[in-house]
Amino acid sequence: MASFHYTVKSGKKGAAGQHSNYIGRKGSFEDRDDLIATGHGNLPAWADGNPTAFWRAGDRYERANGAVYREHEIALPAELTREQQVALAGEIVNELAADKPHEYAIHAPRAAIQGEVENAHVHLMVSDRVDDGVERSPQQTFMRYNAAHPERGGRRKDSGGKNKLEMRDALIEKRRKVAELQNTALERHGHDARVDHRTLKEQGEKRRPEKHLGAARVRRMTDELKLRHQETRQADNGG
């Protein structure tokens, strides 16, 4: 069974522009050497093809308690070649972002524990504000939606009005679809490995969920602790 990792986080007002720089390795992040590919789509005309300009406008004009973006972070199967991973990432972006403003980047840092192994993954920033064909200024784009007179308000958020159960079900469906795309790619390229979007409990697995270790924590680990961590992972995965 190949590893499946997919998380979604909300990006609050004030953080979007900087996070755009982070995933795109722009500005103060230019010295990072793990960037594989970037892309964006469905930006309003006023952004002039610059996703960071769009996110910074959201930082400025979005409501104080509003989310400027949702970030989807998805691991790409290690069994695939770099070219195949990039193609798969494009399919995933098309599935999750659809016609929404978005920006994505593929990173392939070396695994902090395993050394030479690369952990390829995609960061996808998506705005919930759907294009309805109405031309708006940057400020108006992020105003509250006016159902009676759309031209007077901002773009509608497609997450608006959903309760927690509906949002949970929508996320489960996204995870299912992403796993399906990954398995299709694995099969297409001749690999037996498959991913499963379900939790270990839902799969009937008794092994422990794998914990993510941040780079700072790994740097503090001794070589002995790193080796022990690798051995535990292999045992949990039946290796």
Tens digit of pLDDT for each residue in 189-229?
A: 999 999 999 865 666 565 555 555 444 454 455 545 545 54
Find residue 72's DSSP bridge partners: 8, 124
CATH code of 6-197, in short, is 3.30.930.30
Q: What is the mean pLDDT of residues 167-195?
A: 96
Averaged pLDDT of the chain: 87
Q: Is the pLDDT of residue 157 over 90?
A: yes
pLDDT at 220: 57
pLDDT at 226: 44
**Any residues with CB less than 8 A from the CB of 182 and at least 6 apart, and which?**
2, 4, 76, 77, 88, 195
pLDDT at 234: 44
Angle between helices 164-188 and 82-97 (to 10 degrees): 150
Tens digit of pLDDT for each residue in 1-28?
A: 678 999 999 999 999 999 999 999 999 9
pLDDT at 202: 65
- Cα 199 to Cα 81: distance, rounded to the nearest angstrom: 27
Tens digit of pLDDT for each residue in 105-132?
A: 999 997 655 555 678 999 999 999 999 9
Catalytic residues: 22
Q: Provide the residue ranges of all domains of the chain, joining segments of one domain with +.
A: 6-197, 206-238
pTM, rounded to two decimals: 0.84
pLDDT at 206: 59
> Do 153 and 144 form a contact (C-beta atoms < 8 A)?
yes
Residue with tokens 């403003």: 101
State what percent of residues in the chain have pLDDT above 70.
79
- Cα 191 to Cα 183: distance, rounded to the nearest angstrom: 9
